[in-house]
Amino acid sequence: MKEGELYMAAIKKIGFIGTGIMGAAMAGHLMDAGFEVSVYNRTKSKAQGLIERGARWCETVGACAAGQDVVITIVGYPKDVEEIYLGAGGIVESASAGAYLVDMTTSSPILAEKIYAAASAKGLHAVDAPVTGGDVGAKNSTLTILVGGAQEDFDALQPVFAVMGKNIVYEGSAGAGQKTKACNQIAIAGTLAGVCEAFAYAKASGLDVEKVYSAIATGAAGSFQMTGVARRGLDGDFNPGFMLKHFGKDLAIGTETATAYGASLPILAMVLHEVRKLEASGDGNLGTQALLKYYGVTD
pLDDT at 6: 47
Strands 70-73 and 56-57: unpaired
Task: Residue 51: give its domain's CATH number.
Answer: 3.40.50.720
Is 66 in the same domain as 127? yes
CB 52 within 8 A of CB 28: no
34 within a domain of the structure (yes/no): yes
192 within a domain of the structure (yes/no): yes
Of these residues, 13, 114, 122, 181, which one is catalytic? 181
CB 239 within 8 A of CB 259: no
pTM of the model: 0.92
Q: For residue 139, give its domain range.
A: 3-173
273 within a domain of the structure (yes/no): yes
Which of 134, 152, 173 is a domain's end point?
173
Give phi and psi for 58, each to the nearest 5. -120, 140
| All residues at 6 or more sequence positions from 265 whose CB lies less than 8 Å from its CB, including other chains | 186, 254, 255, 258
Angle, nearest 10°, between helix axes 266-280 and 176-204? Answer: 70
Number of C-beta neighbours around residue 188 at 10 A: 21
Is 185 in the same domain as 47? no
Is 205 in the same domain as 166? no
Is 138 in the same domain as 49? yes
97 within a domain of the structure (yes/no): yes
Angle CA 59–64–70, to nearest 5: 170
Is 82 in the same domain as 226? no
Q: Is residue 1 over pLDDT 80? A: no
Angle, nearest 10°, between helix axes 176-204 and 209-216? Answer: 130
Is 114 in the same domain as 220? no
195 within a domain of the structure (yes/no): yes
How many domains are contained in the chain? 2
pLDDT at 241: 83
Mean pLDDT, range 13-17, rounded to an integer: 98
Is 201 in the same domain as 273? yes
134 within a domain of the structure (yes/no): yes
Task: Residue 285: give its domain's CATH number.
Answer: 1.10.1040.10
b/e per residue, 190-211, with b = 16+ CB within 10 A?
Answer: ebbbebbebbbebbeeeeebee
Which of 123, 150, 173 is a domain's end point?
173
299 within a domain of the structure (yes/no): no
131 within a domain of the structure (yes/no): yes
Is 109 in the same domain as 154? yes
> What is the distance between the alpha carbons of residues 173 and 164, in angstroms, rounded to a whole number?
22
Is 10 in the same domain as 154? yes
Angle, nearest 10°, between helix axes 244-261 and 176-204? Answer: 120
Q: Is residue 2 over pLDDT 70? A: no
User: Mean of the per-residue pLDDT values for the chain?
Assistant: 96
Query: Does 181 qualify as catalytic in the annotation?
Result: yes
Is 164 in the same domain as 223? no
Is 165 in the same domain as 276? no
Give phi and psi for 103, each to the nearest 5. -95, 115
Query: pLDDT digits over 214-247, tens only?
Result: 999 999 999 999 999 999 999 999 999 889 999 9
Is 136 in the same domain as 277? no
Query: pLDDT digits over 261-297, tens only?
Result: 999 999 999 999 999 999 999 999 999 999 999 999 9
Which of 121, 151, 173 is a domain's end point?
173
